[in-house]
Structure 1
């Protein structure tokens, strides 16, 4: 029997509010742990899909700005992010464009795109000493789960070349159901004066059940079905923060990935009803 190809792990990170950039938490500690492991394994670069950049019609874009700026964030002191030097990987970006076009996507580079907190927040937390070469893939604004699965599956082969693939979105992310008063009054997004709403708890558990009890193609199907879950719309008023989970499922849902399920590694509740669950699928394997 032929040995399985060595593949990098893939992360689905819930980036939470902008305050996750400035405050310490179990999630932040896990992000840094993942970054340390990636550097110890000499990754070639990061390929990441966030939750705040989408394209109209049937288009998908890849960031090709050689000198991107950072979109400013609220409630975080600029010293936490302003001087962090971004490191766009233009050669890998162009390669991703070619791979996606070959798979039938209407894909193009975006030479003016500035990076948003959903991606640079994660990079700063993972790699505080310096940003690795990074490629950012957009979503598509139709929010078709199968479309985003296919993006992940198209780029899956990069795992065999020691690229780290990340989806940065949210397990439970409904801004309309969040309790904002403690953040606005006291700059405290972790205050939990009451339990999360039942719908948030139920969908959070559904995500964990799918991630930890499925692998390969079943993981793809399970995460896709979650968009029909009775509590999906309570947990996600808009679909954008769930698309990166589908991107991850595409990247880890091949037949070769059977037996490798997700693991809930850290979790941070914010604003009462936002659940920032951090999942990893696969693990680093010594040569």
Structure 2
């Protein structure tokens, strides 16, 4: 049986994460280097800024996609980066989703947004790998998004890297924007994060680190009933990527494969950009001896 590629749940944070150096950005690059070293076939990704109407999801099939402009970041950081949509992979994902009973349609006009290309630029600065983007559904049903992840899970056996780009703690209404707006300092921490942010951040790590297989799926869903969930997520969009990841890494076959917190960056006082990886690349003789 082909080894399973790792699955990443990345908190992409504010747009300034594209322009500023951070522990999270360092890990994104490290994860990208490892993926290239293991000859990934492509990337399948769900972000937090594209939700489809209707009963299902959409898959981007734009041949030459544009980029939605990024606030607070100089265009030199992203304007010339060439996106590489995986059209063949997109149709494969549509077929898998439909086979799983999920309504899935192609969108040939989608303009990519920073939640996805920010991560790709940081992971693969020398060039974008073939990438499939899958939308959320506007109803933000956790079970549907988990089923989407489950439907494309077997692509891990074909060498695809699956990524959910959302946020561990992401409530724009409860961030402190003054240092970023006045001084372009998104990492200013004039006061500690508020207790609700710290509590929910810890709960996300506990779920990731202590659950695997189907237990991960159940535990991730229960987080939406957490007493601090609505404080930590004023809207559900940035948490759906976590459900997508749980679907892609929460099969019986994944039992024993736990999520690891690889990096973390706090922004705007109360936004926690936690970076999780579930699974690992096969050990080579060189790494085994190290």
- What is the TM-score of this pair, normalised by structure 2? 0.97
Equivalent position of 2:81 in the other structure: 84
Equivalent position of 2:209 in the other structure: 212
CA apart distance, 1:149: 0.5
Instruction: Give the secondary structure class of the aligned counterpart of 1:176.
Output: helix
Equivalent position of 1:15 in the other structure: 12
Equivalent position of 1:71 in the other structure: 68
Pick aligned residue for 1:235 from 232, 235, 249: 232
Equivalent position of 1:126 in the other structure: 123
Kindly indicate whether residue 167 of structure 2 is the aligned counterpart of residue 170 of structure 1. yes
Equivalent position of 1:258 in the other structure: 255
Equivalent position of 1:114 in the other structure: 111
Instruction: Give the secondary structure class of the aligned counterpart of 2:272.
Output: strand
For residues 256 and 102 of structure 2, the distance between their equivalents in structure 1, rounded to whole angstroms, comes to: 29
Deviations 1:243-271 (A, max 9, x none): 00000000010001000000000000000
Kindly indicate whether residue 180 of structure 2 is the aligned counterpart of residue 183 of structure 1. yes
CA apart distance, 1:5: 4.4
CA apart distance, 1:57: 2.2
Asked whether the 8 Å contact 2:170–2:233 carries over to 1, the reply is yes
Kindly indicate whether residue 241 of structure 2 is the aligned counterpart of residue 244 of structure 1. yes
Deviations 1:185-233 (A, max 9, x none): 0111000000111000000000000000010000000000000000000
Tell me which stretches of 4 or more aligned residues in structure 1 moved more than 3 Å: none
For residues 196 and 228 of structure 1, the distance between their equivalents in structure 2, rounded to whole angstroms, comes to: 21
For residues 215 and 102 of structure 2, the distance between their equivalents in structure 1, rounded to whole angstroms, comes to: 24
Asked whether the 8 Å contact 2:2–2:158 carries over to 1, the reply is no
Work out the number of aligned pairs and report it.
Answer: 284
Deviations 1:131-178 (A, max 9, x none): 000000000011010000000001000000110000000000000000
Asked whether the 8 Å contact 2:262–2:275 carries over to 1, the reply is yes
Equivalent position of 1:60 in the other structure: 57
Equivalent position of 1:42 in the other structure: 39
Pick aligned residue for 2:276 from 276, 279, 283: 279
For residues 59 and 252 of structure 1, the distance between their equivalents in structure 2, rounded to whole angstroms, comes to: 21
Pick aligned residue for 1:151 from 132, 148, 151: 148
CA apart distance, 1:62: 0.2
CA apart distance, 1:286: 3.8
Asked whether the 8 Å contact 2:262–2:277 carries over to 1, the reply is yes
Equivalent position of 1:138 in the other structure: 135
| CA RMSD between the two structures | 0.8
For residues 108 and 6 of structure 1, the distance between their equivalents in structure 2, rounded to whole angstroms, comes to: 29
Deviations 1:44-102 (A, max 9, x none): 00000000000112120000000000000110000000000000000000110111111
Give 5+ residue unaligned stretches, structure 2: 285-290
CA apart distance, 1:106: 1.2
CA apart distance, 1:6: 0.9
Instruction: Give the secondary structure class of the aligned counterpart of 2:84.
Output: coil
